[in-house]
Structure formats: structure tokens, C-alpha cells
Amino acid sequence: MKTSEISFLEWQKLFQTDEDCLNYLKNQRWPNGFVCPHCGHHKGCQLKCREHIQCNNCRKQVSVTSGTLFHSTNLPLSKWFLAIYFVGSDKGSISTLRLSKLIDVNCKTAK
């Protein structure tokens, strides 16, 4: 999905919550259902206590965000997705200060 093809209001409706963002990432990572990156098995179960899926075969746990820029971040996914929209839809380049104000984070985080 290109950010230039969608309005800001549509983007906000699609990615209102962190759960919306997580579901989008899950569908992008595993469009045909879960596949374990360790053993290739196609069945896993969602862990209740963590945002991880455990493979039914090898028992390894994997996060939807592992191996992505979202892994081990403290910033909510909804803010990441807003940043992606603003950076992707800006015709030139967006300053760190402007981005920090748009997504309500400090300049160091926006950098």
C-alpha cells in the first residue's frame, strides 16, 4: 500500500489501534497463514501473555515484529504507522522536528 494512494483520514481509520497495526503486519508477514521461521511448520498458537506465536512443532516463539524495524521498540505501533504515513506522503523530506510534533514524540525518538 502506497501512502500517496490513501488519504490521511483513510489511514487513520485503517490503523486506529496497535492491534490494527499488528494485524496488518501479521497479514503482510504470513499472507497464507503462520509459517515458523525456524522449522517451516504451518501451525502455531497465539500466546495469551505475550504478543508471540508458538510453533506447534518446534515450540519456538516468534513475534510478528521480529526481524523488522518495529522489533524491541517502546514506541506504539500506531505511532510508527503514523510516522510511516507522514514520511511516505511528504513530497520532499520531513524534518525531525515536524515529525516529532505530528506524532507527539520527542525529537530524539523521531530521528
Domain range list for the chain: 1-31+74-111, 33-72
The reported pLDDT for the residue numbered 1 is 65
Q: So what's the pLDDT on residue 4?
A: 58
Residues with Cβ < 8 Å from 99, sequence gap 6 or more? 83, 86, 87, 110
Q: pLDDT tens digits for 81-107?
A: 999 999 988 777 899 999 999 999 999
pLDDT at 92 (0 to 100):
75
Assess contact for 31 and 88: CB atoms under 8 A. Answer: no
The full DSSP string for 65-92 is TTTSTTTT--S-HHHHHHHHHHHHH-SS
* pLDDT > 60? residue 3: no
The whole-number average pLDDT for the span 59-79 is 93
pLDDT at 51: 82
Q: What is the pLDDT of residues 29-63, one digit of tens each?
A: 999 999 999 999 999 999 987 789 999 999 999 99
